[in-house]
Amino acid sequence: MMKNSLSLQTISRIAVFIILLFSVYFLFAGHNNPGGGFIGGLMAASALVLLYLSFGTKKINKVIRINFPYLIATGLLIAMATGVISVIFGYPFLTQFYEYFHFPLLGKAGLATALLFDAGVFLVVIGVTILVILTIAEDDD
């Protein structure tokens, strides 16, 4: 994909983890602050893209052994499961619930099934983005 560049690789090593951390933060913060599954997913995907760009697809494929079509399917299943669960309890499809809990150390925090739904979105977005880019990048004829 690209000629190895030492400075890029060095920076990527650090940057990728920071971006990934941010993406998880965005996913969890999404309900009350800017963020959410889409943003988190895209951010995580761009972190991975950066990895692929700086180290090359072959090398990274050895490290990250994720089957991205499966990842998309998993995300879709999680999103659907939150909907189906509400159907099982007799509510319309995709009814979301939330409750406030007291956590040790963290204090009071809200937990919503919507977060689970957003996590599904998160996985789908990562899967789609990386799948698209890898498909092109690895097509070498």
Partner 1 sequence: MSILHIAILAPFIFAIFIPLFYKYLPRIHTGWFVLVLPTLLFIYLIRMLPTISKGEVITKQFEWVPSLGINFNVYIDGLGLLFALLITGIGALVVLYSIYYLGKKGEALHNFYVYLLMFMGAMLGVVLSGNLMVLYVFWELTSLASALLIGYWYHRKKSRDGALKSMLVTVMGGFAMLAGFSFLYVITGTFNIQEIIANADVVAASSLFIPAMLLILLGAFTKSAQFPFHIWLPDAMEAPTPVSAYLHSATMVKAGIYLVARMSPVFAGAAEWFWLVAGLGIFTLLWGSFNAVRQTDLKSILAYSTISQLGMIMSLLGLGSASAYYGYEDYYVIATYAAIFHLINHSTFKGSLFMVVGIIDHETGTRDIRKLGGLITLMPITFTLSIIGAFSMAGIYPFNGFLSKEMFFTGLLHSLDITQFNMQSLAFLFPVIGWIASVFTFIYSMIIVFKTFTGKYQPEKLDKKPHEAPIGMLVPPIILAALVVVFGFFPGLLEHTIIDPAVHAIHPAALAAGEHFGIHIYPWHGWDAPELWMTIGVIALGVIMYLTLTKWQKIYEFLRLHKKDPINYIYDYLLDGVIRFAKKVTSMQMTGLLRDYLAFMFIFVIAIVLYSVIRYDVFSIDTGNMEGIPFYFWIIAFVFAAATITVPFIQYRVAAIIAVGIVGYLVALFFVIFRAPDLALTQLLVETVTTTLFLLCFYHLPELRKERSKPKFKLTNLIIAIGVGATVTITALSTLVARGHRPFEAISEYHLENSYKLAGGDNVVNVILVDFRGFDTFLEILVLGIASLGLYSLIKFRVKGRDSI
Partner 2 sequence: MEILMVLLVGLIFTVATYLVLTKSLLRVVLGLVLFSHGAHTLILTMGGLGTGDAPILGASETYTDPLPQALILTAIVISFGVTAFLLVMAYRTYKVHKTDDLDQLRGSSDE
Residues that bind partner 1 (CB under 8 A): 26, 30-39, 42-43, 45-46, 49, 53, 69, 72-73, 75-76, 79-80, 83, 93-94, 96, 98, 100, 110, 112, 114, 117-118, 120-121, 124-125, 127-129, 131-133, 135-137, 139
Neighbours of 107 (CB within 10 A): 8
Of the residues 33, 64, 69, 97, which one makes contact with partner 2 according to CB under 8 A: 33
Cβ closest to partner 2, residue 7 vs residue 32: 32
Q: How far apart (Å, rounded) are the C-alpha atoms in residues 27 and 31?
A: 8
Q: Report the interhelical angle of 68-88 vs 113-137 (nearest 10°).
A: 160
Number of Cβ within a 10 Å radius of residue 18: 10
Nearer to partner 2, 28 or 38 (CB): 38
* Burial of 65 from C-beta contacts in 10 A (0-12 / 13-18 / 19+): exposed
Q: How far is the CB of 10 from partner 1 (least distance, A)?
A: 20
Q: Which does 114 bind (CB under 5 to 8 A by kind): partner 2, partner 1, none?
A: partner 1
**Binding string to partner 2 for residues 110 to 139, with x set by CB under 8 A, is what?**
---------------x--x---x--xx---
Write the CB contacts of 49 (distance below 8 Å, at least 6 apart in sequence): 129, 130, 133
Least distance in Å: CB of 29 to partner 1?
Answer: 8
Contact 82, 92 (CB under 8 A): no
